[in-house]
Structure formats: C-alpha cells, structure tokens
Structure 1
Amino acid sequence: MPSAALALDIGATKLAVALVDADGAVLRTERTATRRDDGPAAVLERLWALAERVRGDERPAATGIACGGPLDAAAGVLLGPLHLPGWDRVPIVRLAEERLGRPALLVNDASAGAWGEFRAGAAADARSCVYLTVSSGLGGGAVLDGRLLVGATTNGGELGHVVVRPGGRRCACGRRGCAEAYVAGTQLVGRAREAIAAGRATALRGDVDAEGIAALADADDLAHELWSDALDCLGQLATDLVNAFEPEVLVLDGGLSRRAGLVETVRRAVAEDAIAPIRAVARVERAALDGAAPAVGAGLLALERVR
C-alpha cells in the first residue's frame, strides 16, 4: 500500500487536514475555522492552503475528503450538505485533484469516522462496529464483518435520523422525533433558547452552547432536563443500533461525547436494554482517535483506492 495520504475533513465549524500513513497514524495535522458564511470559494481556498502546509515536502499518494452529506461519492460532488448552506453541486474531488495534484476520494464524514475507528481506533480489534459522533449534529456509520456500509448512493449511515420519540420534535430532515432532534448540540441550544424565550427560570443565557448546557446539568433545572433528555434518547438509539447490527463495539465520538456521564449512560442503557445474547457481545467505548477519526478513515480509504 502507498505510504501516506492527505485527509481533508470539512466540518460546519472547522476545517482539518491530516497526513495519514497506511497504519492510520496521523503524521501531521492542522485545523482552522470553516467560516462557512464566506461561501464555498473562500472556504476551499483556506482548505487548499492548509493542505499544502500539512503536505510540506511530502508527496502523498492520494487525498481523502470527509464531508457530511448529501453527496455523490461516485461523482465526487457535494450535493448541498446540510451543514454547508450554499454548497450546491460543488465538484470537490475535481477541485482537489486540480489543486493538490493527486487522485482524490470523497466519503461521508461519519462513514469515514467509522472506518477510522475500525482500522486504527477503539474498534481495531473487532470485526464489526457502529460509530456515533455527537457534536453539533448526530452522525453515524457502521462496519459489519470488515465491510464499511455506505448504501446504494453512498448517503447511508444517517443513524441520527432513527426515530426515538414518535410524533416528537421536528427534525431538520423534516421528520418528527429523530434522535438528532434531541441529542445534537444545535438542537440542545435551540431547545434552551425556546425555553428562555418562554420565560423559563434558568441560569442559561441566549448565547449558551451545548457544552455549557452539559456543564450546568448538575446545577440548573433546565440544563438538567435538556441534558438528561438527550442522554435518554442517545441511550435508546444506541440500544436500537446494537440490537439491529450486533456489533462487537459501539464507538462514541464528537465533542459532546467527552462530557461526563455520556459514555457511561449509553453503556448502562445497552447493558440493561439490549437483547440478552447481543448485549453480552457489544461493548461501548469512547473513540480512541480523539476527533481525528473522519480524517484517518478518509485517508485510509483513499490509500486503499490507489494501492
């Protein structure tokens, strides 16, 4: 297998670039703010500049690009990712190949994260894993019997849109009661602002973020209510996924997964509520790659494409 790949991770708030070797080790990495309101051209210019700095004198064999969907991985086109307003039909693979001079591969970021943790992280000793990333959104991916599941149009793995509260809150996808509508950081903040606007007594303020809500969960009634509700929904989702896929490992990633109690709550939910033979197999683990899983996975997939 070729020695290294550039890996680009295009998020709502950050751009990250890593140089990843064939074992999934991150040799160099840098990140910067996305500033998505600047528009695709300006954001991509910052991304290419970041990639060139990380590449340095190296000549990577390929470029892996991780981004949320919807996307068309076969055509290498972003079809209007929900976290990137205005990015409609951006030919990201062609643009990367023209600027960086190496063959490029596009993959959904959560699917890339699942592959990264499977190949080089918390599930490296397993044959199957389910991956959930809990941050501004709620994404997921699955590897079963050593194969990454991506779906017919490479947009599969939208595990955050499993309904856990039928008829509940409206989700950004248009349905009601999706796990993402309760667990995602943007949704936590939205619920907090709704309660504040309705006159709810709370120490939370209008500029609160999801980390702040989690941090105040032991000291503020509204924060406790929102955070407990999020953990309950995440536990329900995790149990459903463990029952459906029977993975050896359920990996939890993303900024909110670092908050005290999240991994433990999900672990307890799976241990108590998953079907007995299945819960004896599955273990719940915090991601080992510390937020780099999408980049690592994208880099490894790109290397596998060109080997």
Structure 2
Amino acid sequence: MNIGVDLGGTNIRVAVVNDAGVILEELVCFTEVEKGPEPAITKMISMIKTLGETHQVKSVGIGAPGPLDAKRGVIIEPPNLPGWQNIELTKMIQSEVQLRVYLENDANAAALAEARIGAGKDAESVFYITVSTGVGGGYVYGGRVISGAQGNCGEIGNMIIDPQAAGAPGLNKGALEALASGTAIGKKAESVFGPGYGAKEVFQLAKEGNLEAEAIIDEVLTYLAMGIANIVHTLNPEVIVLGGGVMKSKDLMLEPLKEKVVPLLYPSLRPHLNIKLAVLDQKAGVVGAGMVPDQFR
C-alpha cells in the first residue's frame, strides 16, 4: 500500500492506494501555480503526513508533468507549472515525510493504472494517450512503464505532424499538441467564432449540427489519427487507450478517429487496431502514482 500524488496545474491529489489499485482515502487541494513551487510542495508534504498517520504505507509515488528526470527525482521545466525549474522534488519531500519517494511522468502514471486495472487490463502492451489541455502519452509493456533513458519515452505531444503549421511554447512547429489538444481546439474556436469560445463550446455546437464546429473537430481528428498511426508503426501496441477531457466527447470523437487511423496503417495492421476509451477518468493519475514505487523495486 502506497501513497500516490498527482501533481497537476490546477489540483494536487494525494491518496492512499492499495495493492489492487483501490483508493482508500483521498485529499485534494488547489495547486495555485501562480505562487510558485514552495507552497505547493508544502501542501503535498502536509497531505502525505496526514494520510500516513492513519494508514500503514510503504512508499510515495508522484506523477508530475514533464519534462522530468525520474531517476534523479527532478522536475525539469514543465510548461504548465511555471517556476518549477530543476526542482529536486523527491529529495525535498523524502526528507520531510520519512518515506521513500519516487517520481514519474504523469502520463506514464496514468498509463500504468489504465494498463493494470483499466481499459488495457490483460493486454501485454498498452499505449495511453491523454488529450486534454495538452497531449501526452505513456507506454506500458508487461505491466511496467517503459520510461526511456531520460524518462521521456511517450512525449508524443512534441511529435511533428505538420512542419508547416504553427507551434506552441516549448514545442516543435506543427507538433501534435499544438494541433490536436484542447488548447488547440480553443484557439481555433476563437479564430472562427470569436472571443469566449473554447473546446467545450465547439463540441456543443458540433452536436447541434454547426458545420464550422464539425470542421474544427474533423481537422483535429485528422492530426490525432496521424499521431496514432505513427505510434502503431513504431511500437505496435496491443491496445491504445485514449483519455483526457477532450475524449469525453466520445460520440463525436471515437469512431470517426478510428476511421481516420485505419487507412494510414499497413494493411496487415488494420484488422488489429484496438482503440479504447480510458475507464479510470481523473483517478488514473493518482492511482497510477500509487503504483509507481513498485516499478523501482
């Protein structure tokens, strides 16, 4: 039984997670990124100590935005956590809570949860994609996260899809995240419909039959399909699991996306394409974080 910490740009979730991936108790607070790292880290330490007083836990796992160095336990410079440059997070927390602390990319943590007890359960290889404010990914093979040499395996948000397209801060020009994230949809919505329109409004308008909104979604699906085809040809996972806020509009997204991916694959791979929606929702991050310590043993 471990404590899992999901460090996000909006919320910090800290939970006691048992060996079956069940949350026994959870605490949530606002990250308040504008205040910098120290207040947020103080909150994490306080919540870990509170849960540790009433539960017998072995370790702490933290899922945090990349880029980061999981081996050294250092957050390098995540775009959605301004001011968090080269933060030795595990060292700082470990010295206060008297428990071994492990760090992992948040998408990898969510991937681990979905692979072990979620939509990818029983599959040997699972690639998890989160389409939300940004686009992230994680690869799990044989029940273990494949992190890469510097812990950045699965950083598909920076995958180049269209080198002639615009970029975004910290990303390549035409990167997948710049073209197919919730943020990208919001920017396109403002250019088409004006200020005040975002991804939520685009999906609502599309449901009402608005052709311009439907065109925005179709373009996003085209880019996302390219990214998925690249992943399939590179890693050939048994299952691709799609999560994140954008995928909640599954009626508009899932089947059209599959239809766009299939023609981009080798004919021999097309019958084996297996895309599923994530089932753990926002709990995947904190549950996966609670599983992270087992990866280091």
Asked if residue 213 in structure 1 is aligned to residue 213 in structure 2, the reply is no
Deviations 1:230-253 (A, max 9, x none): 122112211221222111100001
Contact 1:192–1:222 (8 Å) recurs in 2:
no
User: 1:245-284 residue pairs with structure 2 within 5 A?
Assistant: 245-259=235-249, 260-284=251-275
Corresponding residue of 1:13: 10
Contact 1:235–1:265 (8 Å) recurs in 2:
no
Corresponding residue of 2:276: 285
- With the length of structure 1 as denominator, give the TM-score of the two structures: 0.88
Corresponding residue of 1:86: 83
Amino acid at match of 1:275: Y
Superposition deviation, residue 49 in structure 1: 3.2
> Structure 2, unaligned stretches of length 5 or more?
none
Identity between Structure 1 and Structure 2 (%): 29
Corresponding residue of 1:36: 33
Corresponding residue of 1:225: 215
Deviations 1:80-101 (A, max 9, x none): 2111111111111012212322
Asked if residue 237 in structure 1 is aligned to residue 234 in structure 2, the reply is no
Selected match of 1:26 from 23, 31, 37 = 23
Contact 2:79–2:170 (8 Å) recurs in 1:
no
Equivalent-residue separation in structure 2 for 1:208 and 1:46 (angstroms): 34
Superposition deviation, residue 54 in structure 1: 4.3
Residues 207 and 17 from structure 1, CA distance in 2 versus in 1: closer, same or farther, beyond 3 angstroms?
farther
The alignment yields a C-alpha RMSD, in angstroms, of 2.0
Equivalent-residue separation in structure 2 for 1:244 and 1:258 (angstroms): 27
Selected match of 1:140 from 120, 125, 137 = 137
Contact 2:158–2:171 (8 Å) recurs in 1:
no
Amino acid at match of 1:73: A
Equivalent-residue separation in structure 2 for 1:265 and 1:101 (angstroms): 50
Residues 31 and 267 from structure 1, CA distance in 2 versus in 1: closer, same or farther, beyond 3 angstroms?
farther
Amino acid at match of 1:208: Y
Superposition deviation, residue 55 in structure 1: 4.3
Q: Which moved more, 1:262-271 or 1:172-181?
A: 262-271
Equivalent-residue separation in structure 1 for 2:196 and 2:46 (angstroms): 32
SS at match of 1:139: strand
Amino acid at match of 1:157: G
Residues 272 and 115 from structure 1, CA distance in 2 versus in 1: closer, same or farther, beyond 3 angstroms?
same
- With the length of structure 2 as denominator, give the TM-score of the two structures: 0.91
Residues 24 and 211 from structure 1, CA distance in 2 versus in 1: closer, same or farther, beyond 3 angstroms?
same
Residues 232 and 99 from structure 1, CA distance in 2 versus in 1: closer, same or farther, beyond 3 angstroms?
same
Equivalent-residue separation in structure 1 for 2:171 and 2:248 (angstroms): 29
Q: Which moved more, 1:58-67 or 1:295-304?
A: 295-304
Contact 1:14–1:34 (8 Å) recurs in 2:
yes
User: 1:39-118 residue pairs with structure 2 within 5 A?
Assistant: 39-118=36-115
Corresponding residue of 1:125: 122
Equivalent-residue separation in structure 1 for 2:186 and 2:49 (angstroms): 36
Superposition deviation, residue 102 in structure 1: 0.8
> Structure 1, unaligned stretches of length 5 or more?
none
Q: Which moved more, 1:132-141 or 1:70-79?
A: 70-79
Deviations 1:249-284 (A, max 9, x none): 000011111113222222223344322322322311
Deviations 1:114-153 (A, max 9, x none): 1111111111110001110011000001123544221111
Residues 47 and 264 from structure 1, CA distance in 2 versus in 1: closer, same or farther, beyond 3 angstroms?
farther
Equivalent-residue separation in structure 2 for 1:226 and 1:121 (angstroms): 30
Equivalent-residue separation in structure 2 for 1:135 and 1:105 (angstroms): 25
Equivalent-residue separation in structure 2 for 1:303 and 1:104 (angstroms): 11
